[in-house]
Amino acid sequence: MLPILSLDDERFEEIVEKARKMIPNLSPDWTDYNYHDPGITIIELLAWLKELQQFHMDQIGPLHVRKYLMLLGESVRGRIPATARLTADCLEEELVLPGGSRFYASGIEFESLYSRFLQPVRIVQLISVSPFKKPDEAKRIVPGGKKIHIPVFGTRPEGGESFYIGLSKPLSPGREHRIYFSFYDDYPVKRNPVNGADTFAPLAKTKMEAFCNGRFLPVENWRDGTYQFLENGDCSFLLPETMEAGEEGLYWLRVTLLQAEYDVPPILEWIDLNEIEVSQRHTLSECLELKAQAGENRQIYLFAETCLAASGEYEIYLPESGKEDVFHRYDGPVERRSAGGTTEFCLPQLTAREGETLLLLCYESAFSGSRFIGTGNGFPLQEYETGITGLCGGGMVLLAETLEESGEWLRWEQVEDFTGSKPWDRHYTYDERTGLLCFGDCDRGMAPEGRILLAAGHTSLGQGGNVKAGTISRYEGPLKLEGVLNQEDAHGGADCETEEDCLRRLHRRLKTVERAVTYEDYETLVKRTPGLRIENVKAIPVTERKRQDGTMDETRVTLVVKPYSEDARPKPGRACLEGIMNMLEPRRMIGSKVSILLPEYIGITIFAEIETDSYYQQIQKEVGTALFNHFEERKGSFGRPVLYGTVYGIIDVLDHVTGVKSVSLNAQGSGIKRSMNGDILLPANGLAYLEEWDCMISSAG
């Protein structure tokens, strides 16, 4: 947290006395320090001004803190709804779940984020096939609604492996299908999230196919949210043709690995075909921007895929030609019909509006009386309390009526404050903690003149929505949807931030390295490379990379990188190196050059002659364990020498060892040197490992 300083920490007399004591050093000729001296009078005047400034600087309230946060690129966050993923296993028929469908964890409400096509298709069998093994050695698993553990492309994927997904029924053609994959990630080094980063270099290349007309055909519109099975996510696609039954009477999807540079093999823990993403919120009203479509006789149609559009109250607003964000309410007849998760609005008396964007306001009947926040009077600095507990600022839409022309509604924009607002800007601020809506002073931001309508808004419990796994289990709606459950905890919910919380977050952000200047910066950025697991990295000083003539290239930064892998001695592959360079290129200093060295593994062989107090049978095992533990502790230390004295001491301090006669160290690898003391000096990119050891034991008696 940023330190809280007391700026008004000196009184007037203290300031004057401090200045008077500085006179002898600054002006030895000044000898009269009495109050009648003009210089003392000036000191008193300046002391009074200084005390006044300190007092004003110390009076910093929440508004000032928010201003300073904005200057540093931060703002106080509002309430954030929790999110979760649900599974639906007990489906009897195909159905379309509209957006905004409601699920409950006891009394806590969740809503689906978007329209979702669900179908009574079960994943019956999963098969991992390698081209280097016999067909009868393929890994087969029947999910059965439980967590699984199957290497998708085997334990050592090289390319050419296939992963088959056997379905109980064919998927419907012409629909977008989604499959959710969740992977095992309990490794000592966590993978950096990709999050759509431009610097990400894929570690593999895959393709997905469906069994249609007796052969596997590539699917269409394939979107891989797992980044080639690196992290949890959705994969969506369209079928090229109608699926047909294949082996064992199942309907098959196949994912083929074309190229592979995985650091660890992807291991599937959960797969779901009917996954529903939900958010902990309660939508009171929604404002949908829909394109008008022409039907028969040029009648205008609107299509929406939400629950409120199907069952709630609604209003339609038409844009005024030539006026931005100006609408008027449509009062003509509307025919509403719902089928297959889509609600159709027909406007029979409206023509010549094809392609225009109309506003469809849908709201709950119970919210009808609370939609109007107040009535503007045109005066500056208007404030209104919403009176709605837990109303979130995100997604809020306000419309205000204008008195200039009856029936016109203006759309207003939410801002952090009115600093950049002009007199004609329709801006407002909303404080989630107090529920207060504020408008401008007519110099910075307009003032509303008519009724103020909350066109879109939702409430949330924030952190209270982070419920445990297995608690979201009830659906309320017209569809036959049973057996829903959240397999994992809901997460991400947060309450409104205070200024102090935002300052702490800013403090953490300012410590985040975004530019490569020092060696430590380069190491930090490499460890954050998207999509990679980096176990260790070291920037080698230029003094250790001298040319043959003794000169140094001071503009070059040399890095040695060890990725995490289950292999004993891993080295970064092409994709890993590409990702690291993509990460560093836009962040390095102009004129600097970056090169990456592969780790050089140095095998150490140790032979020791030791004496024990008796023929202790376990001493050889204890020596081996002690040496192994020592090399495990230092396995990530680049360039660290293997010291003769350290190895000698490790053996000498063991119980039942009375003496060490001799220790012999040998090494295999390039760039090795030996010191006069028998130490093995490694190159800057060297990593020592215990290749072999042996000992000769004799009794001291």
Which of 336, 364, 392 is the last residue in one of the domains? 364
149 and 224 part of one domain: yes
C-alpha dihedral (90, 96, 97, 100), degrees to nearest 10: 180
Q: What is the pLDDT of residue 341?
A: 87
- Does the residue 146 lie in any domain? yes
| Angle between the N-to-C axes of helices 38-58 and 12-26, in degrees from 0 to 180, rounded to the nearest 10 | 130
Name the nearest CA neighbour of 693 among 627, 640, 649, 648: 627
CA dihedral 29, 31, 36, 37 (to 10 degrees): 10
Name the average pLDDT for the chain.
89
Judge if 307 and 262 occupy the same domain.
no
**Does one domain contain both 123 and 239?**
yes
Using pLDDT thresholds of 50, 70 and 90, give the confidence band for residue 136.
very low
CA dist 141 → 125, 378, 627 (Å): 6, 69, 41
Question: 353: helix, coil or strand?
Answer: coil
Domain assignment of residue 212, yes or no: yes
In one letter, which amino acid is 12?
Answer: F
Report d(CA 145, CA 330) in Å as an integer: 50
Q: Are residues 220 and 312 in the same domain?
A: no
Output the pLDDT for position 137: 46
In a domain, 551, yes or no: yes
Q: Which of 239, 230, 150 is nearest to 192 (CA)?
A: 230
- 156 and 224 inside one domain: yes
| Sheet strand arrangement including 177-183 | 150-151, 267-272, 177-183, 233-238, 220-224
Instruction: Answer yes or no: is 278 within a domain.
Output: no
Residues 150 and 249 in one domain: yes
Q: How far apart are CA 269 and CA 16, in angstroms?
A: 73
Name the one residue in this structure whose structure tokens are 């993403």. 277
**Do 203 and 187 fall into the same domain?**
yes
Domain boundary (527, 562, 595) is at: 595
Place of tokens 């397999």: 487
Are 136 and 226 in a shared domain? yes
Decide if pLDDT at 548 tops 80.
no
Q: Is residue 640 part of a domain?
A: yes
Task: State percent of the chain over pLDDT 70.
Answer: 96
- What is the helix (H) or strand (E) element at residue 285, kind and residue range? strand 282-291
- Count how many domains the chain has: 6
Per-residue pLDDT of 367-403, as tens digits, reads: 988 999 999 998 999 999 999 999 999 999 999 998 7
**Angle, to 10 degrees, between the axis of helix 644-652 and the axis of helix 619-633?**
140
* pLDDT on residue 130: 83
Q: Which two tokens stand for residue 368?
A: 């009808």
Residues 391 and 290 grouped into a single domain:
no
The angle at the Cα of 205, spanning 575 to 582, to the nearest 5 degrees, equals: 30
Ranking 42-51, 289-298, 299-308, 597-606 by mean pLDDT, the lowest is 289-298
How many CB atoms neighbour CB 247 within 10 A?
A: 11
Same-domain check for residues 151 and 253 = yes
The range of the structural domain enclosing residue 197 comes to: 119-272
The domain that holds 163 is classified in CATH as 2.60.120
Judge if 137 and 268 occupy the same domain: yes
Query: Same structural domain for residues 384 and 453?
Result: yes
CA–CA separation, 467 and 85 (whole Å) = 12
CATH number for the domain harbouring residue 556: 3.30.300
Q: CA–CA separation, 510 vs 126, rounded Å? A: 47
Main-chain dihedrals φ then ψ at residue 678, nearest 5 degrees = 90, 5
